[in-house]
Amino acid sequence: MGGRARLEVELEQLTQQIRYHEAAYRAGAPEITDDAFDDLVDRYQELAGQLGLDAAERLDLQPGQDHTAGFETVEHRVPMLSLEKLSPNRRDSSGEPMPLSDQLSAWFRRRRKELEVEEIPIIVEPKVDGISVSLLYADGVLRSAVTRGDGRKGDVITKQVTQLGTVPTKLKGSGKGELEIRGELYWPLTEFARFNATLEKPLINPRNGCAGMMKRKDPAGLDETGIRAFFYQIAWDEGVKLPSTQHETLQWLSDRGAEVYLSEVFQTVSEEKALQHCEDYQARRETLDYDIDGMVIKLDDLGLYARLGATGHHPHWGIAYKFPPERKPTRLLDIEVSVGKSGKLTPVAILEPVFVSGTTVSRASLHNFVELERKDIRVGDTVLVEKAGEIIPQVVEVDKSKRKRGAKRFVVPHACPTCGTEAVSEEIFVYCPNPTCPDQVRERLRHFASRQAMDIDGMGEVLVDQVVDKLGVRSPDDLFRLEVDALAGLDRMGHKSAERVKAGLEEAKGRGLGRVLNGLAVRHVGETMAEDLAAYFKTADALLEFAARYVAEDEEAVETVAPAKSSERGAIEGLARKSADSIFHELDSPAVREVFAGLADVGVSLRVRAADVREVADVAGKTFVLTGTLPTLTRTEVTKRVKAAGGKVSGSVSKKTHYVVAGDDPGSKHDKAQSLGVTIIDEAALLALLGDAD
């Protein structure tokens, strides 16, 4: 393979990894640290530049990377670009590590040269670890709140932010005019711990918990979470008289009721003092009631910002100092391969125990075999271990200077380590395709019984392990055949506990087709996709019949869910051709068909619950798009009622859209609907269409 071909392969692998880790982050289950993710993106950008990839085709410039289905997306008037970072992983042109002091000096030299000055007043502010938000105020009143998204477009979360009660809905004495304030939504550690203690399944960390909460479509109860906000920038203004410096702007915001960290702002003209302040502040992290992942160094004179401009990725007026996570060296004793619920084979590092960020670590994630190869990790190596989000242990680097001669690269398994079935590859991942694989069975059953799937009361992970090991349970239908006496004989069970589990199993039989589909852990079928498939096909028989037609390449079936024309949408919102291929081939497999037959045999409902679907003639088969704030209904309520009546809810307007439901402050979807001649209705008209579907 030639040099360019190798780079192209690496670029494609990086593309897949970045997409995977973005999805994991949005799902609230990050597997790598922000720094590790930034390293992947930096390498991607470097390769894209080397290969001359057109800017419009680059992954980092594609819109909608942080979009959540069901939320309106709007374009930022001024892009919310990320800051350039001082990185401990950066190297100079000769490949040697570049000290942070040298990196900061280089940044100062560039700014002084561009501005033709000898001295630059700067301020240093804390970089609170939360989620960025953009707030639009008109005549001092909050009009909209939008997530950062991909930096160019973000999701509208006005209802969620307003419900928090910690963001000012009115700015005191701001007068007439419009302005956009940017800040961070964050979860104080004490409030996060208090709220987390009330949950059956604790949130992974404050930042991801905050992100998840702000994407709750129903904002009720958000005011009880304790999530707060602080503000650090005015992105633009029209008709508002503002100060000319950043430190005065922070005071201006504070005077109008917006929370800022004025007492934490450090002013200087010295790059050495700025760096020293960052290092000193790092020592204070443990005393703060909020997570902080670094500091921001920015020019104080706001009039210079426009002169400095920006790249496609970073503004030139500031730079971020990221606090390095605690890293500890230890020896890699072995590499094991675990089998997940979907059959994914994942390499796991077995380590000489090491104390990192408060706990002893003996196992750590290696994520996937592409990452293993990229980092060139070998058994016997001395490796550096840290925790992603202070939670998930992972191997981040190899000290190759300590590598012993003859250390061999890890060979990607060609067969499942548990059942011996020949493994298959899909993009950057390797899978065991055998659904009866013992490890896969165990993980699938754990997922099937979990709260987000069938929600079987009393059937936790420990009990699942016992019924698999001691009672021979191998498939979901086996769970429903368990008897009280058999359950009572297991460790820590007893008759009352067994009766509770049996009652939970009986209740779970009526959860409906959507929950069953989610519980089966079919690849690419999560909670939303499971609900959408169930709502469209109504019964498992109809779904399986369609899957057989799809696999047989029936033209009508393929066009139904994956139209050949990219401008057309299929019957299932968000289902692309590649995912459809995987989903319907798996659903048509003998193993999955056998599971459905077994569930039917034990009385599990394999149809959409009658309470969930009652088709209404004026709604069934129609596509609706929502925009703006409705008077009484939330987006979640509208989506459920439209789907229950047999309609679809889409995230964007096209010629095939039947109705755009518009509320207060509609976005660009309203304008597009007008240009395409799509019917625009209000909440009252929607309720009239729904008729007696209440």
Same structural domain for residues 199 and 297?
yes
Looking at 384, 408, 430, the residue that finishes a domain is 430
Distance CA 654, CA 582 (A): 27
What is the Cα–Cα distance from 686 to 625, expressed in whole angstroms? 11
Q: 265 and 124, same structural domain?
A: yes
Domain boundary among 371, 395, 430: 430
Closest among 21, 156, 208 to 651, alpha carbons compared: 156
Number of domains in the chain: 6
Q: Which two tokens stand for residue 295?
A: 């500091």
The pLDDT tens digits of the residues spanning 68-112 come to: 666 888 889 998 888 888 876 666 666 677 888 889 999 999 999
Return the CA Rg of the chain: 27
- Same domain for 308 and 352, yes or no, is no
Give yes or no: residues 111 and 258 share one domain.
yes
Residues 309, 334 share a domain:
no
Confidence tier at 272 by pLDDT (50, 70, 90): very high
Q: Are residues 568 and 646 in the same domain?
A: no
In a domain? residue 606: no
From 17, 19, 18, 14, select the one nearest 47 (Cα to Cα).
Answer: 14
One domain, residues 586 and 659: no
Q: Do 155 and 294 belong together in one domain?
A: yes
Banded model confidence at residue 388, pLDDT cuts 50, 70, 90: low
Q: Give residue 62's pLDDT.
A: 43
| Rounded Cα distance, 508 and 448, in Å | 11
Contact 338, 438 (CB under 8 A): no
Give residue 591's Cα distance to chain centre. 31
User: The domain spanning residue 30 has which CATH number?
Assistant: 1.10.287.610
Describe the strand order of the beta sheet including 266-268 as a list of residue ranges. Answer: 84-86, 318-322, 292-299, 122-128, 266-268
Q: How many CB atoms lie within 10 A of CB 427?
A: 15
Buried b (16+ CB within 10 A) or exposed e, 655-693: eebbbbbbbeebbebbebbeeeebebbebeebbebbeeb
The total of other beta-carbon atoms located within 10 Å of residue 198's CB is 8
Mean pLDDT of 432-460: 87
| Region 632-654 average pLDDT | 78
Instruction: State the Cα–Cα distance between residues 51 and 276, nearest whole angstrom.
Output: 39
Phi-psi region of 116 (alpha: psi -120 to 50; beta: other; left: phi over 0): left
**Does some domain include residue 422?**
yes
**SS3 call for 303:** helix
| CATH number of the structural domain spanning residue 363 | 2.40.50.140
Place of tokens 């698999």: 468
Tell me, what amino acid is at 325?
P
Return the active site residues: 127
| Residue of higher predicted confidence among 636 and 654 | 654
The helix (run of H) or strand (run of E) holding residue 583 is: helix 577-587
Q: What is the CATH number of the domain that holds 442?
A: 1.10.150.20
Helices (H), 423-576: 438-449, 461-471, 476-480, 484-488, 495-508, 513-519, 527-537, 540-551, 555-561
User: Is the CB of residue 444 less than 8 Å from the CB of residue 520?
Assistant: yes
The Cα–Cα gap between 100 and 110 comes to 16
Q: What is the dihedral of CA 374, 378, 383, 386, to 10 degrees?
A: 60
**298 touches 318 (CB < 8 A):** yes
- Per-residue confidence (pLDDT) for residue 693, from 0 to 100: 40
Domain boundary among 322, 337, 370: 322
Q: What integer is the mean pLDDT of 243-260? A: 94
Residue 273 binned pLDDT confidence (cut-offs 50, 70, 90): very high
- Report if residue 570 sits inside a domain: yes
Asked whether 178 and 238 are in contact (CB, 8 A), the reply is: yes
pLDDT band at residue 505 under the 50/70/90 scheme: very high
**Residue predicted with more confidence, 546 or 175:** 546
What integer is the mean pLDDT of 373-397? 82
Q: Tens of pLDDT along 321-367?
A: 988 777 889 999 999 999 988 888 999 999 999 887 667 889 888 88
Give the integer Cα–Cα distance in Å for 548 and 598. 19
Domain annotation covers residue 340: yes
294 versus 2: which is more confidently predicted? 294
Residue identified by tokens 């992105």 is: 235
Does a structural domain hold residue 578? yes
How high is the pLDDT of residue 36? Answer: 67
Question: Who contacts 692 (Cβ-Cβ below 8 Å, separation ≥6)?
Answer: 616
Please give the distance of CA 29 from its chain centroid, rounded to a whole number: 7
Question: Does 170 have pLDDT greater than 50?
Answer: yes
Amino acid 306: pLDDT: 87
Instruction: Give the global pTM.
Output: 0.55
236 is a domain residue: yes
Residue with tokens 């304790």: 226
Three-state SS letters, 636-670: HHHHHHHHHCCCEEECCCCCCCCEEEECECCCHHH
CATH number for the domain spanning 518: value is 1.10.150
**35 in the same domain as 149:** no
In order of 215, 216, 512, 634, 661, the CA distances from 220 in angstroms are: 12, 9, 26, 10, 22
Of 614, 616, 688, 625, the closest CA to residue 653 belongs to 625
Structure confidence by residue, pLDDT tens digits, 276-332: 999 999 888 878 888 888 899 999 999 999 888 887 668 899 999 988 777 889 999
Residue 43 lies inside a defined structural domain of this protein: yes
Distance CA 377, CA 106 (A): 33
In a shared domain, residues 106 and 187: yes
Residues 6+ apart with CB under 8 A from 632: 683
Q: Given this model, what pLDDT does residue 493 score?
A: 86
Domain span at residue 666 reads 623-690
pLDDT in tens, 580-625: 898 999 999 998 999 999 999 999 999 987 655 667 888 888 888 8
Work out whether the CA dihedral 303, 307, 312, 313 comes out positive or negative: negative
Are 38 and 131 within one domain? Answer: no
Domain assignment present for residue 333? The answer is yes
How crowded is residue 52: how many other Cβ atoms within 10 Å of its Cβ?
6
Is 359 found in the same domain as 412? yes
CA gap 260, 252 in Å, rounded: 10
> In what helix (H) or strand (E) does residue 73 lie, and over which residues does it extend?
strand 73-75
DSSP helix/strand/coil, 458: coil
CA torsion, ordered 608, 611, 612, 617, to nearest 10 deg: 100
